[in-house]
Amino acid sequence: MEKEVKNTPQTLLRLWKFLGNFKGKIVLVIILNIIATACTIIGPLLAGDAIDKYISVGDINGLKSLLNILLIIYVANSFFTWFANYGMAQISESTLYQIRKKLFEHLEKLPVSYFDRNKKGDIMSRFTNDITVISEALTDALMQILSSLITIIGLTYIMFRINWVLALVTIATVPIFFIFAFKLGVKSGKLYNKQRKSLGKLSSYSEEMFTGMKVVKSYVGESNAIAEFNKNNEELRDTSIKAQIVGNLIMPLNAFVGNLGHIFLIAAGSIMVVNGTCTIGTILVFMKYSNMFRRPINQLASLFAGVQNALAGANRVFEVLDVETEFTDENKLLPFNNALGHVKFDDVSFSYVADKQILKDINLEVKPGETIALVGPTGAGKTTVVNLLTRFYDIEKGNIYIDGIDIKDVKKRDLRKRIGLVLQDTYLFKGTVADNIKYGNDDATMDEIIEACKQAQAHSFIHRLPNGYDTIVEEEGSNFSQGERQLISIARAILSDPEILILDEATSNIDTKTEKNIQAGMKVLMEGRTSFVIAHRLSTIRDANEILVINDGQIVERGTHKELIKKGEFYSKLYNSQFE
């Protein structure tokens, strides 16, 4: 069951906290709106005077003077309205800037587990689509709401000052309209919330298909992809149509109620004219005021659905902002600026989901400068060991120590600066090659970047590029081979100079020649560092100080390459199977 827009007062309060930084400008916009509204209200009143005081008695000179005053008033109205709109645009865009900034900064502080649990497309939908509807509400709706409320208050006051009977007749139908508008607004709010979720789902699926387009095409899966997209697209279309139908009912409802009010106004005014208690000019003024009164009511009613839509989007943004960051208690933790690299796992157990344990009572110890290899079948838990060491996930049972210090007691940022990662799927960012290598050390000089690349065996191929180190990296490094991306990643890790190194399938799916370059770069990188090597190619880990064989979340064998081959058990069979 889809949830309706929840905690509306709380959501509005949270939005106001962002707007509250511009209180001075908001006050100025309100004042400008009051002046513009006063000009709007005075216009019809003077038009009524023109009929009763000048036209009816043939006073042309008086009429000319009044018309000049009307011209000044309407010019002033346009002037103050423009400035009010300009001020509101500044406020709304500055507010959105703050929301986007806060959301991005918050996303950067969320744990890896959040991104593993949530689809990237849905996260991007919150960051783009949902903020867009908030933008529309702040830029257009907020200004219209402010202007409409001031107009309603001003018109109500002036109408009662002129003729309280006709004023009551004019506003008598408003409560009827608001009762129906409120019910329609609640219904449309639920539908718009559902629409936002459908849009997030569609965006997520589209992003997934575009990312995996090569796989789709290689398995001729275009038809299935299109069918699934159409299914999600139809769901979004149907939900959007329902939301629009319900939301747009408000306008014709308001028109009907307004026309009904016109009938009552004409009837009451005619009786009063016959009785001599009202003039024709006054009736004309009230007819104009009636239309003016209906316009902000209609705007408020029409905006109700849009505001509900914006609140649904705001709720989705605030849902992300409410997720606890992984650095919440950083100030209470110890700094960790240097490490020898002595790593110890003490009875460590972990599960990503309840009742499905991935690691069970893992015990291991790596002395500074040693290399430990983790091998085993896919899904055995090798990468989970790495995720726990870097605190991408926190353990459920046991402890992990570095140099005798429990990693739960140190700041995550400091911990991760001490650990270098070279992964199977190397990610390169948009920018130059030098920028990507410098990502490991912002303060590095060009000479240090080049030296790191020489050590990583990457300098020769980078030097041959059209613009060398200034060559632009295309999206996700698509203009580089997998081996070249891996060499850049190794150079990045060398430049960051970590005490502990993690190599996760770093030579997987690489040709033999490139693998030799990568192995040479890795040898330099690993020298003097505590290294964890996860490998499927067992030939690459023969020189490891210790090899741990992990199966079903447990260490089933441990020893050197020669020792494990001699035992002739799990590792030996796994190793020999690669050469059969």
Question: Please, which residues bridge with residue 362 across strands?
Answer: 348
Which range (277-286, 429-438, 539-548, 560-569) has the least confidence?
A: 277-286
Residue 3 has pLDDT above 50, yes or no: no
**pLDDT tens-place string over residues 412-462:** 888 888 888 887 777 788 888 898 888 878 888 999 999 888 888 888 888
Using CB atoms within 10 A of its CB, is residue 228 exposed (0-12), middle (13-18) or buried (19+)?
middle
Task: pLDDT band for 343, please (50, 70, 90 cuts).
Answer: very high
Quickly list DSSP for 508-564.
TT--HHHHHHHHHHHHHHHTTSEEEEE-S-GGGGTT-SEEEEEETTEEEEEE-HHHH
Q: How far is CA 404 from the centre of its chain?
A: 39
d(CA 163, CA 174): 18
Region(s) of the chain under CATH 1.20.1560.10: 8-321
Tell me, what's the pLDDT at 301?
A: 66
Cβ neighbours for 113, distance < 8 A, ≥ 6 positions apart: 392, 393
d(CA 41, CA 154): 7
* Domain 8-321: assigned CATH number: 1.20.1560.10
Give the neighbor-by-neighbor strand order of the sheet with 397-402. 359-366, 343-350, 397-402, 405-406
- Domain 343-577: CATH class, spelled out: alpha beta
Angle at the Cα of 327 (from 321 to 333), degrees rounded to 5? Answer: 155
Provide mean pLDDT across the span 150-166. 83
CA distances from 500 to 227, 344, 412, 533 (A): 47, 12, 14, 11
Angle at the Cα of 30 (from 138 to 155), degrees rounded to 5? Answer: 105
Of all residues in the chain, the percent with pLDDT exceeding 70 is 89
Residue 214 has pLDDT above 70, yes or no: no
Q: Which of 453, 448, 476 is closest to 464 using CA atoms?
A: 453
**pLDDT tens-place string over residues 348-369:** 999 887 778 888 888 999 999 8
Region(s) of the chain under CATH 3.40.50.300: 343-577
Tell me, what's the pLDDT at 2?
A: 37
Give the chain's radius of gyration (CA, Å). 35
Q: Rounded to two decimals, what is the model's pTM?
A: 0.70
d(CA 284, CA 172): 18
Q: Please report how many Cα atoms fall inside a 13 Å half-sphere around the Cα of residue 162, on the Cβ side.
A: 27
